[in-house]
Structure 1
């Protein structure tokens, strides 16, 4: 895909952009093109004028993502600072750009005396990813606090979808094919800022104690099967500390995979598949990937 065939943009278009620095695992190939729109209309115009056959993939913080070593064809869209604002727009409701982090959302909620969004602090990612994946932790899920969201469709049109239209289930939504989340409204309940901060501190301490937060990781690897814990199944199958190349099952939390140094994405994915095989053999349970795997093998 040649530069002259792409629509003109106000933001930044980068050819063969390395994606490893942009994802938590620090592995994987490049984007054929990386587009960082300057503002909403820039994104809309680009998608409207882009050949409809060209694949488009949104990228947030890359915290729950394996980018395969052969890279991602087409265009990867990354929403920057223009999409990272969080403001109070109505009673107990925050208007959040899709690029805003869970830490910013929960802190803004605290400052405005809005409780119920504390759990977002513990999810490493951005609003766009939370909305797409029905992000959740520590007893909260996005479906419980989302009012509606704005998405840009593949043809560049802007659509507001109420939470009911997303048909949320565990770590899954029915967003329209090719839709990019650009904003969302979250509503909480009245709360005391000091109590909200105390709850966020409790969540942070719990995560620090139980998860390998200082490592190159992708967060929760597998979905929890109904009535069971993925980490327990992985541990029971003898996979704690298991390695493939420089990829390892965390010894601190068995549902996390780690890049110990120079692991390839192929190593990480192969390790995950070996864990799935061993868990199936041991317990009869087929673990489902929670981490999204994208791009081409090398």
Structure 2
């Protein structure tokens, strides 16, 4: 029986089990699987908050075919969750049940695939996508420079910044469902709303096509620099944070409501509402995920009491309490 932190690249075809109380055994033979499977894998180092418990199993596929084979063997019987940069996520202290899939270098490429079009791997960063578009003279994707995450995450959540969002530029995306089925979904089929899509739970975005318009690389670069400078000036980028905590309610800015409720600098355990930008929570160094989530709920209560507005979480909260 395997121990926490044990990793496997292949075996004789037998299904591994994890010797940790409460962990879900991965009912999948590893024969032919070329990726890395880790039992009770710590996730805190993969998140911006640097908090949270382990995944029952962490799978890092070698490539697309490897991921498809692995999920086909799971057959949709085990919970599956994709993990990108961990920038807009709280992993709860009890860890994540089932299998967490982390896309590596094989899914991080960006290619020029058509007229003013890029095909981007699900693990590619927003900065890489925007920079590649700049070099090719493709305008309209500069805002991706301001989204701290990977293609898979911001396609799922219709990520946006500085007046633009993914729904404005997405052509379609390639998705693997939890049972291993491979589908292509258009932007219309994702039924995008504000920080929302109809992408099924457990589905993993492995690539996406974005379309821009002709532009001058120098002007595109200048806009990217403006976005980077604006983020640096207004957001606590050099702290352990998770990005924007709450969605902007219609007709309001979340940070203004938090500020109006007197929550700037509010603390709970090792978690704090940022003094620099009140829609950011930060780990001051000793926070648990429970501290961070609890502080968020405290802020929601105070905002509702002061303004009558109920803030909705933008940060994804996953795992066992």
Q: What TM-score results when the alignment is normalised by the length of structure 1?
A: 0.98
Q: 1:90 and 2:114 equivalent? A: yes
Contact 1:27 1:69 in 2 (8 A): yes
4+ aligned runs moved over 3 Å, structure 1: none
What is the CA-CA distance between 1:179 and the residue it aligns to?
1.2
Asked if 1:140 corresponds to 2:164, the answer is: yes
1:166 aligns to what SS in structure 2? coil
**Residue matched to 2:29:** 7
One of 136, 139, 149 as aligned partner of 1:115: 139
Per the alignment, residue 204 of structure 1 pairs with 228
Q: Which residue of 1 aligns with 2:317?
A: 293
1:186 paired to 2:201: no
What is the rounded CA distance, in whole Å, between the counterparts of 1:81 and 1:26 in structure 2? 22
Residue 278 of structure 1 is matched in structure 2 by: 302
Correspondence 1:141-180 to 2 at 5 A: 141-180=165-204
**Does the CA contact (< 8 Å) of 1:7 and 1:50 recur in 2?**
no
Instruction: Tell me, in whole angstroms, the C-alpha distance in 1 between the residues paired with 2:27 and 2:169.
Output: 41
Q: CA deviation at 1:193?
A: 0.2
Displacement after TM superposition at 1:177 (Å)? 3.4
- 1:195-227 Cα distance to aligned partner (Å, 9 max, x none): 000000000000000000000000000000001
Whole-Å separation in 1 of the counterparts to 2:49 and 2:176: 28
Q: For residues 196 and 133 of structure 1, what CA distance do their matches in structure 2 show? A: 25
How big is each residue's C-alpha offset from its partner over 1:112-170, in whole Å with a ceiling of 9 and x where there is no partner?
00000000011100000010000000011000000000000122111111110000000
* 2-structure distance, mates of 1:33, 1:221: 27
Aligned residues: 297
Partner of 2:290: 266
- 1:54 deviates by 1.1
1:230 alignment counterpart: 254
Unaligned runs of 5+ in 2: 1-15, 19-25
The residue that corresponds to 1:249 in the other structure is 273
Gaps of 5+ in 1: none
Partner residue, 2:12: none
How far off its partner does 1:64 sit? 0.3
**Alignment correspondent of 2:79:** 55
Q: How many angstroms apart in 2 are the aligned matches of 1:244 and 1:6? A: 41
Displacement of 1:95 after TM fit? Answer: 0.4
Matched, 1:42 2:66: yes
Give TM-score scaled by structure 2 length. Answer: 0.91
CA distance in 2, matches of 1:257, 1:129: 20
State the distance in 2 between where 1:269 and 1:221 align. Answer: 10
Q: 1:83–1:99: 8 Å Cα contact kept in structure 2?
A: yes
Report if aligned partners of 1:166, 1:173 keep a CA contact under 8 Å in 2: yes
Structure-1 separation of matches of 2:128 and 2:213: 18
For residue 124 of structure 1, the aligned residue among 114, 136, 148 is 148
